[in-house]
C-alpha cells in the first residue's frame, strides 16, 4: 500500500443493519478506525464470524470475510491462518456463539495460541433468536427461555480464557472510543490468540444490563482503566486506588491519597493479578488485563514443517492423488 488508509476505506457499500441504538454500530466504527491506525492492508486482512447479531460484521468491513456456521468461526479461522500465516485474521463472535455453541472451539484456539484476534461481543443475551438467556446471563435473568429467572451460574469469559491458557485477554466497552480503540490496537500487535471481551448493549432484549458501570455520570467511580506499569487509580481526580487485601485475598478500593503506598501497579504479565482483576465487581477492570508473550502456533508449526511455508501441492493434486478414492454406485 502507498497512501495511508482512513476508517472510511474499511467501510463497505453494504447497508449496516442492526437494531437502532445497538452497540454493534460503535464497535464497527472502532474496528474500522483501529484498522486504519495500525496500517492494516485490506488485501491481507480477513474477518471470520459465526452466527448471531455480531456475526454480520464481515459484510461491513472492506476486507476479506466469511460468515460461517454457529460456533465454528475459531476453527475455520485456524485453518485460514495456517494456510496463509501472513493474513491478519479476526474472529467476531458473541457470548452465545462463542461460549456456548462454540465454547470448545474457542478453548482450543486459546490453548494453541493461534494468531487470531477474537472479538467477543458480550451482551448477556441471545439477541438474534429473540432474547433467550445466554451463558453469561446473570442468575435471575428473566427471558423467554427462563421466565422464572435463570438459575445457571454465568460463564466468566476472562476466567475461561485464562483457564484455557490464553496469553492475551482484554476488555472494552462498546461506546468507549478511546479505551476500546487502544485495546483493539494492542490485540492486533499481540502474537498468538488475543481475546477481547467487549461489553455491548442490546437495546431490545437486555437494555442497560451494564449500566452499573457504563453510565457516564458514574463511570469515573465504576471503571478501572489499566495500563501496564502504572498505578491502579480511578475516581474523580484519581482519588481512589486498588490494593490487595491479605485478609480476604482479594482486591479492594482504598483512598489513594491517604494510602498511596498501598496502591497496586498493574503488571499485565501476572496471571494471579489478572484473575483477581477479572473477579472484581466494581470498579470493572478494562484494558489489557493479561498478556504473556509466547510463540504463536503458526510459527511453531512452520518451524517444524518441511515445506517451510511454501506450497508444495495444489488441491487438485491431493484430490487426484493416491489417498483419494471414488465412490461407486
- Residue 277 has a pLDDT of 98
pTM: 0.92
* Domains defined for the chain, CATH in brackets: 7-209+295-300 (3.40.50.970)
Note whether 289 and 312 are within 8 A (CB): no
pLDDT tens per residue, range 240-251: 999 999 999 999
- To which residue does cell 494510602 refer? 259
pLDDT at position 106 is 97
Asked whether the predicted pLDDT for residue 112 surpasses 70, the reply is yes
pLDDT band at 310 (very low <50, low <70, confident <90, very high): low
Strand runs (DSSP E) across the chain, as ranges? 45-49, 64-67, 88-94, 116-122, 168-173, 194-199, 223-225, 233-234, 240-245, 250-255, 284-291
Lowest mean pLDDT among 16-30, 37-51, 140-154, 252-266: 140-154
Q: Are 167 and 271 in contact (CB under 8 A)?
A: no
Amino acid at each position: 500500500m502507498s497512501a495511508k488508509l482512513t476508517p472510511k476505506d474499511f467501510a463497505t457499500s453494504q447497508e449496516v443493519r442492526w437494531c437502532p441504538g445497538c452497540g454493534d454500530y460503535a464497535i464497527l466504527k472502532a474496528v474500522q478506525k483501529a484498522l486504519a491506525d495500525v496500517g492494516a492492508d485490506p488485501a491481507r486482512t480477513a474477518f471470520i464470524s459465526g452466527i448471531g447479531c455480531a456475526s454480520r460484521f464481515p459484510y461491513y468491513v472492506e476486507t476479506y470475510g466469511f460468515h460461517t456456521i454457529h460456533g465454528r468461526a475459531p476453527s475455520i479461522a485456524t485453518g485460514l491462518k495456517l494456510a496463509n500465516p501472513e493474513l491478519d485474521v479476526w474472529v467476531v463472535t458473541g457470548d452465545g456463539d462463542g461460549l456456548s455453541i462454540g465454547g470448545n472451539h474457542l478453548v482450543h484456539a486459546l490453548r494453541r495460541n493461534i494468531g487470531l484476534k477474537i472479538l467477543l461481543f458480550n451482551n448477556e443475551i441471545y439477541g438474534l433468536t429473540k432474547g433467550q438467556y445466554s451463558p453469561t446471563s446473570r442468575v435471575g435473568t428473566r427471558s423467554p427461555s427462563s421466565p422464572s429467572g435463570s438459575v445457571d451460574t454465568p460463564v466468566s469469559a476472562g476466567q475461561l480464557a485464562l483457564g484455557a491458557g490464553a496469553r492475551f485477554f482484554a476488555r472494552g466497552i462498546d461506546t468507549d472510543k478511546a479505551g476500546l480503540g487502544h485495546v483493539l490496537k494492542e490485540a492486533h500487535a499481540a502474537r498468538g490468540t488475543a481475546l477481547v471481551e467487549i461489553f455491548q448493549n442490546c437495546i431490545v432484549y437486555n437494555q442497560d444490563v451494564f449500566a452499573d458501570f457504563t453510565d457516564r455520570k458514574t463511570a469515573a467511580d465504576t471503571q478501572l482503566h489499566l495500563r501496564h506499569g502504572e498505578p491502579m487509580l480511578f475516581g474523580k481526580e484519581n482519588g481512589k486506588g486498588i490494593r490487595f487485601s491479605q485478609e480476604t485475598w482479594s482486591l479492594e478500593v482504598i483512598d489513594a491519597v491517604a494510602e498511596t503506598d498501598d496502591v497496586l501497579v498493574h503488571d499485565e504479565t501476572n496471571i494471579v493479578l489478572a484473575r483477581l482483576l477479572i473477579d472484581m465487581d466494581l470498579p470493572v477492570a478494562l484494558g489489557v488485563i493479561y498478556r504473556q508473550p509466547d510463540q504463536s502456533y503458526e510459527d511453531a508449526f512452520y518451524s517444524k514443517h518441511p515445506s517451510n511455508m511454501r506450497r508444495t501441492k495444489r488441491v487438485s493434486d491431493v484430490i487426484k492423488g493416491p489417498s483419494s478414492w471414488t465412490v461407486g454406485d
